[in-house]
Amino acid sequence: MDVADGLRALATFAWVAAFAVIGLAVFRASRGQSFKAAGTLVGVVIVAAVLLTVVGAGLVFIQPEDRGVVVSALSSQGYRSVALGPGLHFIIPFAENVVRYPISRQTYTMSIAPTEGAVPGDDSVTARTADGQEVFVDASVIYAIDPDKVVQVHIQWQTRYTNELVRPQARGIIRDVASQYGVQDIVTGKRGELVETIRQRVAEKFAENGLTMIDFVLRNITFSKEYAASVEQKQIAEQLAQQAKFVVEQKKQEAEQARQVAQGQADAAVIAAKGAAEARLINADAEAKSLTLIAAALKDNPDLITYQYVQKLSPGIQVMLVPNSNPFLLPLPSLTPSTTGGTQP
């Protein structure tokens, strides 16, 4: 409670006290009892009540979030040209009164949801795009009364500025701007441009009428059932096309992978074949060199092969049989040692 409200409360209490004293005096007089101080007391209380009433009616306290327009019966134009700012002010009692206006931010919401908008039910903005599609726009307008134009708002709109200025102007501008864009533009890349255009035009219209545009919020855009169904079908088709493209790419990758595996196997087989061929060449060359060395050794020492043959025989062999028709190719010495230290034939 501010000072002005306190004084008005005291004035009300003083009037109640004055009537109470008057009632008490009448009651005592009806019983034949004297009340000598009644007149003086009633006079003092009435004077105090009048003074408090006059002073209380002349004091006005304006909150920081408000501004006060003084409507004056003593002014030729009927109002003071400058609104009252925050704090305690004195006006001419009973000749002037104050109409308060909030300068804090206010939000007006138009929504398709029944309980979200300022108006119950579906209060979204129905608009027609440049290509004839119907869209439903949910939006919020954040605004405030310009502190320097409070008197203008009072003269032009009074307290009707929300329903008769903010709502119709915002809805009309949304419809007008939406009609300049195709539905695809609204859905995709030009949505930000749409919002900025609406914000600028609403700000200009509000400024002409004493309001300040704080922000415009495009909450949602809903399409007609027919268009939504066509968009859904298009999205499904695009998803199927993307899926088919993915399958094709996957098959290509699998084919490329199989080709690379086959190429790797072929390369490995070629390398293995080359290695085997080189190994066989090396072995053949080694065998040729070995045979050359053996031939040279046999040429110089013909008994070497006999020696090698004997070396391969088991040490326990006493007798060796050969066919009758074959001559002895190898002159084998007697394997039975003699008593004299030699061998016998």
Q: Is 83 in the same domain as 141?
A: no
Q: Is 132 in the same domain as 111?
A: yes
Cβ-in-10-Å burial (0-12, 13-18, 19+) of 214 comes to: middle
Does residue 214 fall inside a structural domain? Answer: yes
Q: Is 84 in the same domain as 37?
A: yes
CA atoms within 13 A on the CB side of 299: 6
Residue 107 has a pLDDT of: 95
Q: Is 34 in the same domain as 65?
A: yes
Residue 231: what residue type? V
Does residue 243 fall inside a structural domain? Answer: no
End residue of a domain, out of 101, 131, 159: 101
End residue of a domain, out of 199, 223, 247: 223
Does residue 172 fall inside a structural domain? Answer: yes
Q: Is 134 in the same domain as 88?
A: no
Residue 344 has a pLDDT of: 43
Q: Is 116 in the same domain as 34?
A: no
Give me the helix-helix angle, 191-208 and 167-178, nearest 10°.
Answer: 140
Residue 30 has a pLDDT of: 72
Does residue 239 fall inside a structural domain? Answer: no
Place of tokens 């390398």: 271
Two tokens, residue 331: 């002159």
Does residue 274 fall inside a structural domain? Answer: no
Does residue 291 fall inside a structural domain? Answer: no
Q: Is 91 in the same domain as 126?
A: no
The answer to whether the beta carbons of residues 215 and 199 sit under 8 Å apart is yes
Residue 223 has a pLDDT of: 80
Instruction: Give the span between the Cα atoms of 85 and 67, in whole angstroms.
Output: 5
Q: Give the domain extent around 211.
A: 106-223
Q: Is 142 in the same domain as 167?
A: yes
CATH number at residue 219: 3.30.479.30
Does residue 15 fall inside a structural domain? Answer: yes
Q: Is 45 in the same domain as 130?
A: no
End residue of a domain, out of 71, 101, 131: 101
Q: Is 72 in the same domain as 129?
A: no
Domain count, the chain: 2
pTM of the model: 0.60
The answer to whether the beta carbons of residues 59 and 88 sit under 8 Å apart is yes
Residue 338 has a pLDDT of: 47
CA torsion sign for 215, 220, 224, 230 is positive
Instruction: Give the span between the Cα atoms of 283 and 300, in whole angstroms.
Output: 26
Q: Is 92 in the same domain as 34?
A: yes
Mean pLDDT per 10-residue segment, the chain (345 residues):
72 79 72 65 78 83 93 88 92 90 95 86 88 89 96 94 94 93 80 92 95 93 71 63 79 83 82 82 79 73 67 61 55 48 43
Question: Element (H or E) spanning 26, and its range?
Answer: helix 3-30
Does residue 22 fall inside a structural domain? Answer: yes
Q: Is 164 in the same domain as 188?
A: yes
